Copies of this chain bind each other. A is one copy, B any other.
């Protein structure tokens, strides 16, 4: 019974992250259950999407909480966040893919993004990160890089480790060749 529910949520997350408009019938197939069964567990499409969002967010939030971000300098915390997202973010990807933010509780979304914002703000305050860009702006760019990297792992274009390395390299240090900069400076 719980196993069926979990199978449905897993299948929904897999399909909805790549195709937000995947049909209920497809999700039921992917889960290996009948359509009627899916509706018995999730009476509407919306409740299924909310279920996926809750699980996806809970997983990422739990992983952040276990990550001890507050005990690390901001750049190290950013590295940890990146690794966590690449390893635990598969269901969260479905949340990203959902076109309508109303499908998940705004408070929940805040819980998922708050650690990122806090680390970015702390980094700016502590002088670890540049302070010529607003924290909110920097958070948005961080999210963009993370999300793209996450989808590259989901599409099997990269391992989580590769994606972590790439996202960190670009977000923290940028594309410019530091050796070239040193030569000029």
Nearest chain B residue, comparing its CB with the CB of A177:
B130
Task: Name A residues whose Cβ lies closer than 8 Å to a Cβ of B.
Answer: 19-21, 75, 78, 99, 120, 123, 127-133, 137-138, 140-145, 147-149, 152, 158, 166-167, 169-180
Contact B180 A167 (CB under 8 A): no
Protomer copies: 2
Nearest chain B residue, comparing its CB with the CB of A21:
B21
Q: Which of B19, B130, B158 contacts A99 (CB 8 A)?
A: B19
Contact A129 B175 (CB under 8 A): yes
Q: Which of B99, B133, B152 contacts A166 (CB 8 A)?
A: B133
- Set of chain B residues within 8 Å of A148, measured between Cβ atoms: 140-141, 143-144
- Set of chain B residues within 8 Å of A173, measured between Cβ atoms: 130, 173-174, 176
Contact B175 A130 (CB under 8 A): yes
Residue of A128, A148, A167 with most chain B CB atoms under a 10 A cut-off? A148
Given contacts A21-B99, A144-B148, A145-B145, contact A172 B175 (CB under 8 A): yes
Contact A144 B147 (CB under 8 A): yes
- Set of chain B residues within 8 Å of A167, measured between Cβ atoms: 141
Given contacts A21-B21, A127-B180, A166-B137, contact A175 B144 (CB under 8 A): no
